Structure formats: structure tokens, C-alpha cells
């Protein structure tokens, strides 16, 4: 495969993938992230009265600018899930967990986040979960460390 292109030895370079920018997150995403820091979950209400969660600046269906934030949860329902048996270093937990669509009470849509369920057999669509917030909050999405099953 390589002989015709003249490759005799492999030359390699290492690169680091990152998002090395500082950004202003704005009034809606900013409110959501500040909310997490304070242990609150925020959605945004659209013209039809539906509450989109997590809070978004624009209604993805209509393009309507959204300005009204609404506190939802804290408990929620799992709308869908998968089991991560072998977490990568980029994942929020270093032990097996579920990635799930979680719709907090009072919200009409769900966010993807981790459920620290311990065992895949614990997971089911429709199960109830509650958020576990980090002690030292930074105003980022991982301030919400994970969701936990509610007995």
C-alpha cells in the first residue's frame, strides 16, 4: 500500500484536541449554567407554553427567540438511555454508567446526561431520577455531577 507513495518510515506528530477559547455564554446559557452552580435546573418557555430543557436561546422548531426562564425539576424522568460499560477519559464518571435523556418535572424536552445507576439492570425508560450536584461548583454543565435513581 505504501511502496508506491514512497513512504519508508512513519513520521508522526502529536496534537492536542481542545476548545481553548473563553466565551461569553450570554443571558440564557449563562443563566442555565449559573443555575446549576446554585443547584437549580432552568428551562425556557416558548410561545406555545412548552418548556424547553436545557434552556436554549432559540426555539429549534420556529427560530423564536426565547427569553423567559423557568425553574424545573429537580426530579425527572428517563425518556431513553444506553449503558456505557467502558467509560472513556472524556466521560463524566470513571465507572460504568448510563447516558440518558432526562426530562425534569415541568419540562417538555430532555437533556443528555449521566445516570450513576451502578448496574445496567437498574435502568429503564420511565424511571425516576434526581440530580446530584458537585460540592465545588464552577458554573459548567458538569456541576451537575450525575443523576441518581430515586427509589
Partner 1 sequence: MPATDIAVIGFAQTPSVRDDARSEVQLLVPTVAEAIEMSGVDRREIGFTCAGSCDYLTGGPFAFVQNLEAAGAWPPIAESHVEADGAWALYEAWVRLQEGDIDTALVFGSGKSSPANPLELWPQQLDPYYLAPLGVDPASLAGIQARALLESGKATERDFAEVVARSRRAARSNPNAQLKGDVDADALLAEPYFSSPLRRHDLPPITDGAAAVVLARGDKARQLCSRPAWIRGLDHRVDPHQPGMRDLTTAPSATLAARKAGYDGGPVDVAELCAVFSPQEIILREAIGLPEATEINPSGGPLAGNPVMAAGLIRIIEAAARIIDGSANRAVAHATGGQLLQQNLVCLLEGE
Q: Would you tell me which residues interact with partner 1 (CB under 8 A)?
A: 1-2, 4-5, 7, 10, 13, 15-17, 19, 23, 25, 29, 33, 52-54, 56, 60-61, 79-85, 88-92, 99-103, 109-114, 120, 125, 140-142
β partners of residue 80:
101
| Residue closer to partner 1 (CB basis): 103 or 131 | 103
Closer residue to partner 1 (CB): 88 or 135: 88
Q: Name the residue nearer to partner 1 (CB basis): 80 or 149.
A: 80
* Shortest Cβ 12–partner 1 spacing (Å): 8
Q: How far is the CB of 60 from partner 1 (least distance, A)?
A: 3
Nearer to partner 1, 73 or 113 (CB): 113
Amino acid at each position: 500500500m505504501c511502496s508506491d507513495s514512497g513512504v519508508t518510515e512513519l513520521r508522526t506528530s502529536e496534537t492536542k484536541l481542545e476548545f481553548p477559547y473563553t466565551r461569553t455564554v450570554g443571558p440564557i446559557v449563562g443563566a442555565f449554567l449559573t443555575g446549576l452552580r446554585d443547584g437549580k435546573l432552568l428551562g425556557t418557555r416558548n410561545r406555545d407554553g412548552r418548556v424547553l430543557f436545557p434552556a436554549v436561546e432559540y426555539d429549534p422548531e420556529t427560530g423564536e427567540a426565547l427569553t423567559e426562564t423557568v425553574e424545573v425539576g429537580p426530579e425527572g424522568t428517563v425518556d431513553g438511555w444506553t449503558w456505557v460499560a467502558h467509560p472513556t477519559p472524556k466521560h463524566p464518571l470513571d465507572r460504568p454508567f448510563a447516558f440518558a435523556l432526562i426530562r425534569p418535572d415541568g419540562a417538555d424536552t430532555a437533556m443528555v446526561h449521566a445516570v450513576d445507576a451502578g448496574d445496567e439492570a437498574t435502568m429503564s425508560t420511565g424511571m425516576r431520577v434526581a440530580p446530584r450536584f458537585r460540592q465545588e461548583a464552577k458554573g459548567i454543565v458538569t456541576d451537575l455531577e450525575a443523576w441518581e435513581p430515586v427509589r
